[in-house]
C-alpha cells in the first residue's frame, strides 16, 4: 500500500529512464580542464529565502542564489556546510514530450550517449568518480533530462569540467559504434523494465489509452524498438545541437562550497559557450473528455491487477497537491479507506496503491489493485468502483488530513536535507516555475490544504464514469491490448 505524497515526487524521482552504471572499469584520472582564460564572474546575486509562515506551521527556509550567465545558462546555488560534499545537477529542458513522431526514445537514448565520453575525456563517464567515492547518473522524464553528481567537496571542480566538456564537445566524440552500442543497451532496458517484467507495460498502456495520437505524453521515455532502430548519427547530432545548449539548461550546485569561488569556476567552464535557443514547451493537445473505457492486457503474471487512470490537473495547478493528500486517505495504513475495505475487510485484494503522476502539461491519477487469489476481475472491478465512490462521499477527517500532511512533510524535509535530492528539487522548480526559490510556495500547497478542498478535488477528478481501466490478467505476454465494449445500459 503506497501513496505518492508530493507533487514533484514523480517529476523529480519517479518513472524516469536512467542508465545503469556499467561493470567496474579501470579507474581513469580526469585530465586538467582545457578551457579558455577565466572571464570575470557575474555580479553577485542576492540570496533569497523562503520564510513564509502558514496556518499549518512555518515553511522551511532555504537560501538560494539564482542568476544567469551572459549565454543564458541559469545557475542556482544553495550553500550548506554541514557535510563535506557538493552535489551538481544540470537539467536540460527536453524530455520525451519534445520528440517528434517516428523518433520516440531519442531523449533517453541521448542521455545514455552523454556517458560515453566527450572530446577531452573520451572515456566512460563513471570512471573518474569511482576512486573518489562519488555518485553519478542521469534520468529522463517526459519534461526534462537531468545529469547529477555528488562528490567530496575538494573535488567540486571535477563535475563542472566534465559537464561543460560534454556540453561543449560531445558531437565531436560521437561515433556510430557508440550509437549502436547504446541503442542496444536501451532496447535491452526496454525489454527488462517493460516487456519481461510483470505488469511492466502498465504506464505504456495508460499513455496509449488516455492520450490521443500526437499528444506529447502518449509514449513513455523508453520509446519503441522501431524508432530506436531508425536513429542515425546525424539525427543524434541534430538533437544535441537543438536541445543541449546553455540557454536551454539550468545548473544547480548544493553543498559545501564558497559561492564566490563557485561562481568563478562556473564562469570559467561555461561562460564562453554559444547561447543556443530555449526549447519551446511542447504543444499539448487537449486530452479528450475522458469517457469510460475498459481494456485487457495479457501478461505472465500469477495475480490479476486492475489499473484505473484519471485525467487530473498539471503540476502546481489547483487540485494537484490535494490529490496527493487524498492518496494517503485512500491507501496509507490499514485503516485507510480503500485498503481497509478491499484488503483487510473484504479480502478481495492483495494490495492497493494510489498516486498522482504530476507533470508539466497535464497529469494522471492512477489506482492499482492486485486481486487476491480466487477473486475474479468482475468481482474486484465492481467492488473497487463501489468502494471508491463510498470513499469519496465524505471529506477527510481531521486525523486523516493530519496524517497525510505529516507524511508529506517527512518526505519534503528529507529531500531538502539530502544534497543531491535538494539539487533535483531546485532544478524541478526551475523547470516548472522559472525560479528555484519556490520551496515556500510548494510547501504551502500542502500545509494549507483544507479537508473541503481535498474532498472537492477527489470528487471532481476521480469519477469512475470518466476512468480508463486496464486489467492485467494471466495469459500470453505480448498479446495486443484489447478493448472491452461497454454494455449498453437499459433506459
**pLDDT single digits (tens) 293-330:** 999 999 999 999 999 999 999 999 999 999 999 999 99
pLDDT score for 43:
34
Got the DSSP string for 223-289?
Answer: --HHHHHH--HHHHHHHHHHH-SGGGEEEEEEES--HHHHHHHHHHHHTTS----PPPPPP-PPPP-
- 258-285 as b/e, with b when 16 or more CB fall inside 10 Å? ebeebbbbbbbbbbbbeebeebeebebb
- Spatial strand order of the sheet with 468-474 comes to 2-3, 349-357, 363-371, 305-312, 468-474, 293-299, 482-484
- Spatial strand order of the sheet with 85-92 comes to 65-68, 74-79, 249-255, 85-92, 145-152, 135-140
Strand 468-474 to strand 293-299: parallel, antiparallel, or no bridges (unpaired)?
Answer: parallel
Say whether pLDDT at 15 is over 50: no
Say whether pLDDT at 44 is over 90: no
**pLDDT single digits (tens) 398-425:** 999 999 999 999 999 999 999 999 999 9
Q: Which of 3-17, 102-116, 327-341 has the lowest mean pLDDT?
A: 3-17
**pLDDT single digits (tens) 174-216:** 999 999 999 999 999 999 999 999 999 999 999 999 999 999 9
| The model's pTM | 0.87
- Tell me the C-alpha to C-alpha distance, in Å, between residue 415 and each of 6, 18, 359, 418: 11, 19, 19, 5
**pLDDT single digits (tens) 132-182:** 999 999 999 999 999 999 999 999 999 999 999 999 999 999 999 999 999
Taking the chain, what is the end-to-end CA distance rounded to the nearest angstrom?
Answer: 39
**pLDDT single digits (tens) 321-345:** 999 999 999 999 999 999 999 999 9
- CA nearest neighbour of 73 among 345, 261, 215, 277: 277
Question: ∠ at Cα 380 (377, 382), nearest 5°?
Answer: 105
What is the rounded average pLDDT for all residues in the chain?
88
- Can you read off the three cell numbers belonging to residue 213? 495520437
218: how many CB neighbours lie within 10 A of its CB? Answer: 19
Rounded to 10°, the helix 157-173/233-243 angle is: 140
pLDDT score for 21:
32
15: how many CB neighbours lie within 10 A of its CB? Answer: 15
> What domains are there in the chain, each with its CATH number?
60-270 (3.30.830.10), 293-484 (3.30.830.10)
d(CA 159, CA 380): 51
Strand 2-3 to strand 349-357: parallel, antiparallel, or no bridges (unpaired)?
Answer: parallel
- Can you read off the three cell numbers belonging to residue 282? 511542447
Cell match 519503441: residue?
224
For residue 123, with 0-12 CB atoms within 10 Å meaning exposed, 13-18 middle and 19 or more buried, which class applies? middle
Instruction: List residues bridging with 491 in a β-sheet.
Output: none
pLDDT score for 287:
65
Say whether pLDDT at 104 is over 90: yes
d(CA 243, CA 278): 8
Amino acid at each position: 500500500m503506497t501513496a505518492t505524497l508530493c507533487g514533484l515526487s514523480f517529476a523529480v524521482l519517479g518513472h524516469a529512464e536512467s542508465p545503469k552504471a556499467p561493470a567496474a572499469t579501470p579507474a581513469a584520472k580526469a585530465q586538467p580542464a582545457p578551457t579558455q582564460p577565466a572571464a570575470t564572474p557575474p555580479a553577485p546575486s542576492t540570496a533569497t529565502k523562503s520564510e513564509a509562515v502558514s496556518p499549518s506551521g512555518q515553511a522551511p527556509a532555504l537560501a538560494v542564489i539564482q542568476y544567469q550567465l551572459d549565454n543564458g545558462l541559469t545557475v542556482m546555488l544553495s550553500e550548506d556546510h554541514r557535510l563535506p560534499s557538493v552535489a551538481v545537477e544540470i537539467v536540460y529542458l527536453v524530455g520525451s514530450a519534445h520528440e517528434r513522431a517516428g523518433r520516440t526514445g531519442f531523449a533517453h537514448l541521448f542521455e545514455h550517449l552523454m556517458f560515453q565520453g566527450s572530446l577531452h575525456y573520451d572515456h566512460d563517464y563513471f570512471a573518474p568518480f569511482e576512486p573518489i567515492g562519488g555518485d553519478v547518473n542521469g534520468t529522463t522524464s517526459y519534461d526534462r533530462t537531468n545529469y547529477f553528481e555528488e562528490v567530496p567537496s575538494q573535488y567540486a571542480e571535477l563535475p563542472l569540467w566534465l559537464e561543460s566538456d560534454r556540453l561543449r564537445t560531445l558531437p565531436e566524440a560521437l561515433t556510430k559504434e557508440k550509437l549502436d552500442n547504446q541503442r542496444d543497451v536501451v532496447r535491452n532496458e526496454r525489454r527488462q523494465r517493460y516487456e519481461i517484467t510483470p505488469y511492466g507495460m502498465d504506464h505504456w498502456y495508460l499513455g496509449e489509452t488516455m492520450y490521443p495520437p500526437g499528444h506529447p505524453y502518449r509514449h513513455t521515455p523508453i520509446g519503441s524498438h522501431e524508432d530506436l532502430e531508425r536513429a542515425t548519427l546525424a539525427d543524434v547530432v541534430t538533437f544535441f545541437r537543438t536541445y543541449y545548449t546553455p540557454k536551454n539548461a539550468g545548473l544547480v550546485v548544493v553543498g559545501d562550497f564558497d559561492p564566490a569561488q563557485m561562481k568563478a569556476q562556473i564562469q570559467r567552464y561555461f561562460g564562453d559557450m554559444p547561447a543556443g535557443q530555449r526549447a519551446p514547451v511542447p504543444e499539448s493537445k487537449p486530452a479528450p473528455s475522458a469517457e469510460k473505457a475498459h481494456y485487457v492486457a495479457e501478461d505472465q503474471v500469477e495475480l490479476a491487477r486492475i489499473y484505473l487512470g484519471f485525467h487530473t490537473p498539471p503540476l502546481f495547478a489547483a487540485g494537484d497537491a490535494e490529490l496527493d493528500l487524498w492518496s494517503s486517505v485512500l491507501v496509507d495504513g490499514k485503516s485507510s479507506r480503500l485498503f481497509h475495505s478491499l484488503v483487510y475487510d473484504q479480502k478481495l485484494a492483495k494490495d492497493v496503491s494510489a498516486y498522482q503522476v504530476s507533470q508539466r502539461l497535464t497529469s494522471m491519477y492512477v489506482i492499482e489493485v492486485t486481486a487476491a487469489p480466487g477473486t475474479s476481475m468482475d468481482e474486484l472491478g465492481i467492488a473497487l468502483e463501489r468502494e471508491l465512490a463510498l470513499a469519496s462521499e465524505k471529506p477527510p477527517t481531521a486525523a486523516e488530513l493530519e496524517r497525510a500532511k505529516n507524511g508529506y512533510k517527512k518526505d519534503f524535509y528529507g529531500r531538502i536535507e539530502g544534497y543531491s535530492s535538494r539539487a533535483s528539487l531546485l532544478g524541478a522548480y526551475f523547470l516548472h516555475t522559472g525560479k528555484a526559490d519556490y520551496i515556500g510556495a510548494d510547501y504551502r500547497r500542502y500545509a494549507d490544504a483544507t479537508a473541503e478542498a481535498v474532498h472537492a478535488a477527489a470528487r471532481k477528478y476521480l469519477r469512475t464514469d470518466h476512468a480508463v481501466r486496464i486489467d492485467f490478467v494471466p495469459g500470453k505476454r505480448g498479446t495486443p491490448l484489447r478493448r472491452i465494449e461497454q454494455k449498453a445500459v437499459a433506459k
